Structure 1
């Protein structure tokens, strides 16, 4: 009887253990001494500058966290892969990170297209994924509803477009604008749409719209059309690869009006493509400025320079905040389970980072301010912060 009872108890415990394991998300971790974090970024390919900068910031933050004892004594272990700036590759790596590497969460990708591709994996596997720079409006909420496991710490494209239109009207006294956008990019189209609406609502007029396609090199045809128009500003939503060349060619044609852009301008490659001399009266919405005198920003800049021997840009700052945001969520979740982490991230309030303080709203977006950076001879000369 005792033997039979012992066997029944053993079977019961086994079934109980299987059931307990069965309710855990794939991101649950068994090793109590470390916390594996996936890093799925564009380290090569067309937008490698964003991915490389983001990962530099992430690694600085992870090094600091681990040097301070980790999270409740557990060290963060980054598992890093290059998605080659390809959305399809980002999906493959997300599956690998979750199913094979057993990460608790994934940081990245940097761009909206690749991040949105990864979100489908996150929703299925029930593992949080977080981007520092995926700004498309439909990243965390689309026509099918809210994505429970997708988060970001950057503002949306609609906010960027609106903020820049207000800046053009109020700070530059612009009444007439020309739009030059990448017709192959949802990022550019979303920014342009919101800029146009807000600019018109403020009494402005769009006097011309021109389009190009990613990877184009010669923009003289569309710039020649623009040159003879009567306008106050050019709004150029797009990435640095084309923006740098457009600005260079515009200035060479004698177009000296202010050129306005978005966070896609923020790359050291913008200067190498356009030339410092062409980058005056250039303004773009951004997440951070090195001109900020906040002690948190000053310390970050000093620490970054010590580690990498270069000035940090906004993507470095976003990567840094991204890792710190995740660490804060893990600490508050008091668990190495992805489901508990998701709930902790969603309840974040008053997180203080290099790119500003924020709380996460009901759609997993941060409520935060935006910075509008002004360049003169390729150097940041002004930074205007716009409210939340």
Structure 2
């Protein structure tokens, strides 16, 4: 009897030890489809991330209300990257290995994407960044895709419109955030050559760092060169402070930015100093389509004090496309088939064409896998030029509002 009890106890202990040694499954594979969602909710990028999370939740809720994916509920595991590259790497590894997600929605920032995409490539899992726009970030990694058009496509469209409507803009200064990967690329690698391409002389270049608040010296240096316009390689947060400083020093210029300028808070923070500022976006929050109006209602129910912005809309579209790819892939959704299922989802996303979406002026997005025999991983969508007019973001260009008289 004692011998039997001893053997039984040993068997139980062995089972416990084996169970502890095995990696815990993060979800019951058959019952739900689980994807990772990486977004900055605190620190750097929180002004974008909080709304982006709400938008992605709206997408998931709509997908599940419509029956989920093949009858399975879609669930996202959200991780706050804090806009920190090292943390983003750590979180990505956790989602891939511990949580065993089917695919990753994110990361958001280009710098984070540059850090995380190699991890996804080695792990053979789709990473779908909704907002990274630094040129070429996804190209080296066949498992990396982006729901964006890069700035080398958008900036020439912006400058062409500027030349047409403001022919007096012949001299420019460039302000570049050299701490942020996207911003540095925009200022140095995109605006610098593109301005020259359009016959606009670059008379001054001044660098700054993410988080700077005092731009008095920067603007003083630029004012000495008497430019007609200032091109900003950066995001709206610092740009608003630059605009206020320029107004304080009575420097009257046309402000031109990339998609990082696309947050209505720039108007709230800079006020009249932001009038006339131009950037290219792929989302119009005031679009009268049924899809957009429904999205805005649902979004504002979650973040009532926010103004809908393009990163959030991009996140919404990206989750909808990811769900479509999973549905199209017809995944088995078991631990044994996880590797094969991840490959199916990656390949399905690569074939998405003319997907009904918010973030394209013509309402359609196509994902491009291969260009000239090489991986690209970017989206094809139609942009919308936005100008600040009377304290609002106003679409301008063909069939839209007229350009604001700046001088």
- TM score, norm. by length of structure 2: 0.82
**Residue deviations 1:133-178 (CA, integer Å, cap 9, x gap):** 011123211xxxx311111111112223323322322233222222
Check whether the contact 1:106–1:129 (CA below 8 A) recurs between aligned residues: yes
* Matching residue of 1:329: 325
Match of 1:255 among 245, 251, 273: 251
Check whether the contact 1:28–1:338 (CA below 8 A) recurs between aligned residues: no
Matched, 1:153 2:147: yes
* Matching residue of 1:55: 53
Matched, 1:223 2:219: yes
Check whether the contact 2:175–2:232 (CA below 8 A) recurs between aligned residues: yes
Matches within 5 A, 1:1-388: 31-141=29-139, 146-173=140-167, 174-192=169-187, 193-274=189-270, 276-309=271-304, 310-335=306-331, 336=333, 337-356=341-360, 357-361=364-368, 362=370, 363-384=376-397
- Give aligned pairs, total: 355
Check whether the contact 1:157–1:187 (CA below 8 A) recurs between aligned residues: no
- Measure the CA separation in 1 of the matches of 2:158 and 2:183: 13
- Measure the CA separation in 1 of the matches of 2:147 and 2:398: 17
Check whether the contact 1:162–1:194 (CA below 8 A) recurs between aligned residues: no
**Residue deviations 1:332-370 (CA, integer Å, cap 9, x gap):** 111141110010011111112100212111111111112
- Measure the CA separation in 1 of the matches of 2:208 and 2:155: 19
Shift of residue 297, structure 1, vs aligned partner: 2.4
**Residue deviations 1:222-263 (CA, integer Å, cap 9, x gap):** 211222434321111202221111111111111222111112
**Residue deviations 1:109-150 (CA, integer Å, cap 9, x gap):** 210111221111111111101111011123211xxxx31111
* Matching residue of 1:18: none
- Measure the CA separation in 2 of the matches of 1:113 and 1:385: 34
- Measure the CA separation in 2 of the matches of 1:186 and 1:115: 10
- Measure the CA separation in 2 of the matches of 1:98 and 1:385: 45
5+ unaligned residues in a row in structure 1: which ranges? 1-26
Q: Secondary structure at the match of 2:233?
A: coil
- TM score, norm. by length of structure 1: 0.86
Distance 1:153 1:385, change over 3 A: farther
Distance 1:28 1:329, change over 3 A: farther
- Measure the CA separation in 2 of the matches of 1:311 and 1:205: 35
Question: Once structures 1 and 2 are overlaid, which stretch shifts more, 194-203 or 233-242?
Answer: 194-203
Shift of residue 272, structure 1, vs aligned partner: 4.6
Distance 1:382 1:182, change over 3 A: same
Check whether the contact 1:97–1:103 (CA below 8 A) recurs between aligned residues: yes
Shift of residue 277, structure 1, vs aligned partner: 2.4
Q: Secondary structure at the match of 2:395?
A: strand
5+ unaligned residues in a row in structure 2: which ranges? 1-24, 334-340, 371-375, 400-407
Distance 1:130 1:385, change over 3 A: farther
* Matching residue of 1:13: none
Distance 1:247 1:91, change over 3 A: same
Q: Secondary structure at the match of 2:175?
A: strand
Q: Secondary structure at the match of 1:94?
A: helix
Shift of residue 61, structure 1, vs aligned partner: 0.4
Shift of residue 269, structure 1, vs aligned partner: 4.0
Shift of residue 70, structure 1, vs aligned partner: 0.5
Check whether the contact 2:384–2:395 (CA below 8 A) recurs between aligned residues: no
